[in-house]
Amino acid sequence: MIQPYNFCVSTVLAEHKSVAVPEIKVNAIDIGYSAVKCFTATNHACFPAFARKVDAASIIGDPNPDDILYRDESGTWVVGASALRDIRLSDTNDSEATLYARQRYDSDMFRVIYRVGMGLCLLDEKGIASGGRRPIFLQTGLPPAYIKSDRRDLTEALSGTHLYAMKFGRKQWKEFLFELPENNIDIMPQPMGSLFSAAISNECKPIQGAADYFKSSILGFDPGFGTADTFEIRGGAIKSFESFDNLGMKIVYKRLADRIHRAYGEFVPTHAIQKVLLDGFVQVFDKKKMATVNQPVTDLLEQCSREVCEEALNMLKTTYNYLREFKYLLITGGTGEAWKEYITEHFSGMRNLHIVMGNQNDPALPQIFSNARGYYLKRVGTMKAHS
């Protein structure tokens, strides 16, 4: 049986040791609609891509280990899990059109979650000039269909001078001041991050058989929050990239919200579904009896998730000739992890098709980090090759 909390974004900050480029701080960030994922030479981090501005005086009590606070000239913000906990199901302050819009790069929330991600990448730097003592290089990505249209706007949002402070959990406030030139930012197609992650070891070397991924036929499948992204490689050449709307976790959330309303009469905004999943139930209120009942959502979630996964797999089959001509199917991302059993079961009878997971070279690392890990190792490998 599925567990609702596995369909939520957890806050993670963990140390690790990876290859590095001398005298350069390389950061990889995957800024999704549901989560921000970070990967550096010394740590990996993840938190829900949600933030709310608050009155600093209203923050009381001891912080939770996953609380994130942020402040700059605009004021104080709660970020990630603490912002999600602040959601009321009746709240209309956050609209789906605003939170999940493609052109979100100029929004205050995008600025906050991006800077928090960079702050988590720069925690090992000392002093207010975090990152100022050595150049910073940022590797990130976009859905394949949006590379040309969104690259300029995203680069402008990420670059420039950034001054702010943040506090993670029970740690002390830390101030950050860094400069990130546009030339130090690279944006690649998102699913390619997972291909590099599947092909490169923790030592930043191609694994045995990696060459076959690029030279034979591989279909990458990265179902994210808003889109399901694919890429096709044949004979060493990238043949196509596609992004399919309405086939990611956002649609699972929307359908779950609709079924909760039909079953229990409770309206839950899409952006508040994570709060319900964290609890594992929706609280139903009977105003005539003045009573509340906690109704489980596991069965409804299972139905919605399987439905959307089947629709996504049907899209793959009709778009790519039932995958008969592919040797590998690369599955990646947090939604890919949630759908892994469905997908492997669906294609279990195809002897020509070998399923590869994006985190296969570091299975202890959650699948949600596959793109960010691939971004990082690809950038470090390129820099080392040219040094």
Asked if 165 and 173 count as a contact pair (C-beta separation under 8 A), the reply is yes
The 10s digit of each residue's pLDDT in 252-309 is 999 999 999 999 999 998 888 988 998 889 999 988 899 999 999 999 999 999 999 9
* Identity of the amino acid at 85: R
The 10s digit of each residue's pLDDT in 110-155 is 999 999 999 999 998 765 545 456 899 999 999 878 889 999 999 9
The angle, 0 to 180 degrees and rounded to 10, between the axes of the packed helices 190-199 and 370-385 is 70
Round the CA-based radius of gyration of the chain to a whole number and report it: 21
207 inside domain: no
pLDDT at 98: 47
Inter-residue long-range contacts of 199-203, CB under 8 Å, 24+ positions, other chains counted: 200/361, 200/374, 200/377, 200/378, 200/381, 201/361, 202/18, 202/19, 202/361, 202/362, 203/19
Structure tokens at 330: 């690369």
188 inside domain: yes
Q: Where are the beta strands (DSSP E) in 214-280?
A: 217-223, 227-234, 237-245
Rounded (10°) CA dihedral 200, 204, 206, 207: -70
pLDDT at 298: 93
Structural domain count, the chain: 1
The 10s digit of each residue's pLDDT in 45-94 is 999 999 999 998 888 788 889 999 999 999 999 999 888 877 766 555 55
Q: What domain range is 24 assigned to?
A: 4-192+366-385
Q: Do the bridges between strand 25-31 and strand 136-142 make them parallel or antiparallel, or are there none, so unpaired? A: parallel
Cα 93 to Cα 248: distance, rounded to the nearest angstrom: 24
218 inside domain: no
Distances in whole angstroms, Cα of residue 32 to Cα of each of 37, 226, 312: 8, 9, 19
371 inside domain: yes
Half-sphere exposure of 325 (CA within 13 A, CB side): 10
Among 25-34, 97-106, 189-198, 217-226, where is mean pLDDT lowest?
Answer: 97-106
pLDDT at 49: 93
pLDDT at 84: 83
Structure tokens at 127: 């002093």
The candidate with the shortest Cα–Cα distance to 49, out of 120, 118, 139, 109, is: 109
**pLDDT, mean over the chain:** 89
Q: Which residue has the higher pLDDT, 182 or 134?
A: 182
Residue 237 has pLDDT above 80, yes or no: no
Asked if 375 and 193 count as a contact pair (C-beta separation under 8 A), the reply is yes
| CATH number of the domain to which 378 belongs | 3.30.420.40
pLDDT average, residue stretch 163-177? 93
72 inside domain: yes
256 inside domain: no
Cα 250 to Cα 296: distance, rounded to the nearest angstrom: 20
Among 23-27, 102-106, 112-116, 349-353, where is mean pLDDT lowest?
Answer: 102-106
pLDDT at 214: 85
pLDDT at 131: 46
380 inside domain: yes
SS3 176: strand
216 inside domain: no
The candidate with the shortest Cα–Cα distance to 297, out of 320, 274, 321, is: 274
